[in-house]
Amino acid sequence: MYTLGINAVYHDCAACLVKDGVVLSAAEEERFNHVKHGKRPVPFSTWQLPFNAIDYCLAEAGITLADVDHIAYSYDPRVLPGYNEDADITLPLQPSARQTANGHTSPWDPLFMSYIVNAPRQLTSGAPLHLQKRFRGVHYQDIAPRWHFVEHHLAHEASAFLAAPFDDMAVLTMDGRGEAATTSYGLFRDGRYERIRQVNLPDSLGLLYEDVTRYLGFLHSSDEYKVMALASFGKPTHIEQFRQILQIQPEGGYRVVEALLEQRFGPARERGAELTQTHYDIAHSLQKVLEETVLHMANWLQRETGARNLAMAGGVALNCVMNARVRELGPFEQVWVQPAAGDAGTALGAALWTDFEQRNARGDRSRPWAMHHAYLGPEYEDAEIEEFLRWTQVPFRKLDNVAEETADILAQNKVIGWFQGRMEFGPRALGARSILASPISPDMQQRLNEIKDREDFRPVAPVVMEEHASEWFSARSPSSYIAPFMLFIFDVKPEKAGKIPAVTHVDGTARVQTVRRDQHAAYYDLLAAFEKKTGVPILVNTSFNTRGEPVVCSPRDAIECFWTSPLDALVIGSYLLEKPAP
């Protein structure tokens, strides 16, 4: 049984294909069409089906749309008040006050609702010509009986509890908004899921963080991680003001009072303007109050469920500083975060949930798959890579030993593009489409930010062989050192910080990825070779892209990024490209 999951609402359009409970493939549309986060200049064009990502998923399985048994869409208009299932276009719904404040426009207008309700028809009629091979011969009347609307937060929840490496777990999801919910709490036990409670609009952790992101002069709904980085430079000067805005409520709840940021803190920062200590302190205070609130939520959820493990998803769960506080100070023995925690991951969750429901109906409550890695995207064999390299006529050579020869280049303090195996699903580069460098040089962080045209306050992250993580970083328990998705910060051990200055943030922390050989052999072997040469089992890992571009997907993308940036070398499959010395 094949189940296709689709996210095509708000941002981060994506597709995922599941067969009998096992995820075969998953990818974001931005990697194919180069529209980062799916955000085009014309607002309504953000509402697009991820035809390229769907085409990839079908091709990976060697099937067409006609072979798909179920299609799961990660938004359910039927749970909205005022929905009329007999109408082609739902009547306009009144947005909440918060949704129209500070520039938020209501998504629940007739055009948006028409798009959602008619998505099955679009899937069978709107595929681009160059992709129609996989979509041909299927009509709306064929798709409609197989189409499943899955509530947005249920898709987030399922992406956590049906992918986590636990049998039983509490579930916490937090984002900007779904149909109505912004936060959900649940329990997965004995093969059944129950949502315990939810927080609805206008109260939203994600929308508050977006508001402050915009106030600080960044793009909302994509630059929140910059605010998280800024927070490390600040002090809790405004913490009481943020406690007035984000108020803890009984039973694990919270309330968001209208922020009115300019009235509280003065004029908003213009994009590109100088950052001041006030901006750092606002970011720091927001971050601390977010952490307090989520710890309150986690403590209540554990008392309510008695669960030992916690699985999280939703865009707020991409906040790795908050995740580490929950892991280190919270009541759960283990905390797991789904790596595509943002809206792209709802394609995964919608597919897994629909597959799970259909198998349950046949008496099968098994979970045959868990997400131990995120390498679910396209892969290119050496033969394909070499054919393309020859066509481009760029100079290249084949490496006899990829790990050893690449480690030599990195030990010379050169920066490389690294393109190996299946592309990662989710926003983090995890060693398949990465820029790699040595962490030993103190100026490497600044150099990488210059290469990628990033703000100089932003840290870069380390990847470490899992068995060496405890030698370099501090955590509460041995299980905490399993961090393959770069979604937790760790304290760098003081005696080691001087050896890896490039990845040690101003507050003494690092956003760590651990890797085992069974997760990504080429990546692990490179770390082992670098350790043999330098004594350091760590590399700097940042995403293989430049400003404004999504992470590279294909050999063409990788070579274009290499030749239009100051990278020193590109290791793509078994092949090496180097630039001549200046």
Strand partners, 183: 174, 199
What values do phi and psi take at 495, rounded to 5?
-75, -10
Cis peptide before 145 (omega within 30 of 0): no
> Domains (ranges, CATH) in the chain?
2-76+118-154+344-361 (3.30.420.40), 164-337 (3.30.420.40), 382-578 (3.90.870.20)
| Helix pair 320-329, 224-231: axis angle to 10 deg | 60
Average pLDDT, the chain: 92
Cα separation, 37 vs 480, in Å, equals 30
Range of weakest confidence among 105-114, 152-161, 362-371: 105-114
Model confidence at 101, pLDDT cuts 50, 70, 90, reads: very low
Tell me how crowded residue 387 is: count the other CB atoms within 10 A of its CB: 12
CB 411 within 8 Å of CB 438: yes
What values do phi and psi take at 373, rounded to 5?
-150, 170
Give the three-class secondary structure for 439. coil
pLDDT digit string, tens, across residues 412-427: 999 999 999 999 999 9
Q: Give the DSSP letter string of 20-65.
A: TTEEEEEEETHHHH--GGG--SSGGGG----HHHHHHHHHHHT--G
pLDDT digit string, tens, across residues 217-269: 997 667 899 999 999 999 999 999 999 999 999 999 999 998 899 999 999 99
Cα separation, 323 vs 439, in Å, equals 24
Cα separation, 195 vs 193, in Å, equals 7
CA distances from 294 to 156, 272, 300, 393, 499 (A): 17, 31, 10, 54, 34
Q: What is the mean pLDDT of residues 363-380?
A: 96
Percent of the chain, pLDDT > 90? 81
Model confidence at 98, pLDDT cuts 50, 70, 90, reads: very low
pLDDT score of 89: 41
CB 160 within 8 Å of CB 350: no
Give the three-class secondary structure for 419. strand
Look-up: residue for tokens 């990488």?
448
Cα separation, 5 vs 7, in Å, equals 7
pLDDT score of 77: 87
Model confidence at 42, pLDDT cuts 50, 70, 90, reads: very low
pLDDT digit string, tens, across residues 315-346: 999 999 999 999 999 999 999 999 999 999 99
pLDDT digit string, tens, across residues 274-293: 999 999 999 999 999 999 99
Looking at per-residue pLDDT, the higher value among 92 and 195 belongs to: 195
Per-residue pLDDT for 498 more than 80? Answer: yes
